[in-house]
């Protein structure tokens, strides 16, 4: 003979988690935990692209190129990792009583920019990041301009003078920056993708870069800006 062991009423109403939720738990409403930055995105959809960069500094203009990979983090946020080669010219002007000295350092850098992009609208986004760099080539150019007054005539009675200038130039490989690695630059940029460029998967990125770390305290001004033109292999 089997006997049924009576259970208290409150125990009978409970259900084990393995078999289902209780009526009380069903009534609980949990907050929406979706990130404020947007819906999650498929991280496997990485955009790979080629880019051409222009760089304007106070002492010169140059071009560079490289590769980039844009990694979606959410609907509105993405990370970007690049590898690029660029050239930048820095220098100074020195004035003396009878001399003008012009110094230019043109450095070639391998850079690995790391950026965070925020999408403002369908056709515009902003980026902020850092650009660690290593200098692999460097050339120094010096121009010396001398001035002096010389007599027009050999006659001692003629005191007329004329200003004569002499120019000397030299160019050579230097090692002030070569083989050194720098934290580089803090980079702020905007990314424009107008409709007429979207069908070619092209993005225009005007930017400005400010020196940080050792370059910030260097005697030359390393601040520069320019425009980067990027073409993606798939839709950005």
Tokens matching residue 183: 């934290």
Give the pLDDT mean for 66-73. 91
Contacts of 27 (CB under 8 A, 6+ apart): none
pLDDT value of position 16:
45
Give the DSSP letter of residue 18.
T
Give yes or no for residue 25 having a pLDDT over 60. no
**Cβ neighbour number for residue 135 with a 10 Å cutoff:** 19
130, 200 Cβ separation under 8 angstroms: no
Q: Rounded CA gap, 128 and 110, in Å?
A: 19
Per-residue pLDDT at 167: 87
Q: Is 41 exposed, middle or buried (0-12, 13-18, 19+ CB in 10 A)?
A: middle
Distance CA 163, CA 148 (A): 6
What is the C-alpha to C-alpha distance for residues 93 and 103, in angstroms, rounded to an integer?
6
Question: What is the DSSP code string of 179-207?
Answer: T-EEEEEEEEEEEE--HHHHTTTEEEEEE
Per-residue CA distances from 63 to 84, 88, 209 (Å)? 11, 9, 15
What is the pLDDT averaged over residues 15-31?
A: 46
Beta bridge partners of 155: none
CA distances from 160 to 97, 156, 164, 165 (A): 21, 10, 13, 17
pLDDT band at 193 (very low <50, low <70, confident <90, very high): confident
Predicted local confidence at residue 30, as pLDDT: 42
Q: How far apart are the first and last CA of the chain?
A: 75
Write the pLDDT tens digit of every residue in 108-154: 999 999 999 999 988 899 999 999 999 999 999 999 988 777 666 66
pLDDT of residue 166: 84
Distance CA 177, CA 108 (A): 10
Q: What is the mean pLDDT of the chain?
A: 81
Which pLDDT score is estimated for 198? 78
> Which element (helix H / strand E) includes 147?
strand 124-151
Lowest mean pLDDT among 70-74, 160-164, 190-194: 160-164
182 or 232: whose pLDDT is higher? 182
Q: Check residue 141 and give its pLDDT.
A: 95
């Amino acid at each position: 003979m089997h006997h049924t062991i009576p259970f208290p009423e409150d125990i009978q109403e409970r259900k084990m988690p393995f078999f289902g939720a209780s009526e009380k738990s069903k009534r609980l409403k949990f907050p929406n935990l979706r990130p404020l930055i947007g819906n999650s995105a498929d991280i496997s959809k990485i955009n790979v692209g080629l880019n051409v960069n222009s760089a304007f500094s106070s002492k010169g203009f140059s071009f560079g190129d490289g590769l980039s990979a844009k990694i979606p983090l959410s609907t509105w946020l993405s990370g970007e990792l690049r590898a690029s080669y660029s050239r930048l010219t820095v220098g100074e002007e020195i004035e003396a009583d009878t001399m003008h000295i012009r110094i230019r350092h043109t450095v070639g850098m391998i850079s690995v920019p790391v950026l965070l992009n925020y999408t403002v609208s369908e056709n515009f986004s902003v980026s902020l990041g850092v650009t660690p760099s290593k200098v692999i080539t460097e050339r120094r150019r010096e121009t010396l301009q001398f001035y002096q007054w010389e007599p027009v005539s050999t006659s001692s009675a003629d005191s007329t003078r004329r200003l004569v200038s002499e120019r000397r130039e030299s160019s050579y490989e230097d090692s002030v920056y070569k083989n050194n690695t720098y934290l580089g630059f803090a980079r702020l940029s905007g990314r424009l993708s107008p409709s007429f460029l979207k069908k070619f998967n092209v993005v225009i990125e005007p930017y400005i870069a400010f020196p940080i770390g050792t370059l910030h305290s260097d005697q030359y001004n390393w601040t520069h800006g320019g425009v980067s033109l990027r073409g993606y292999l798939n839709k950005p």
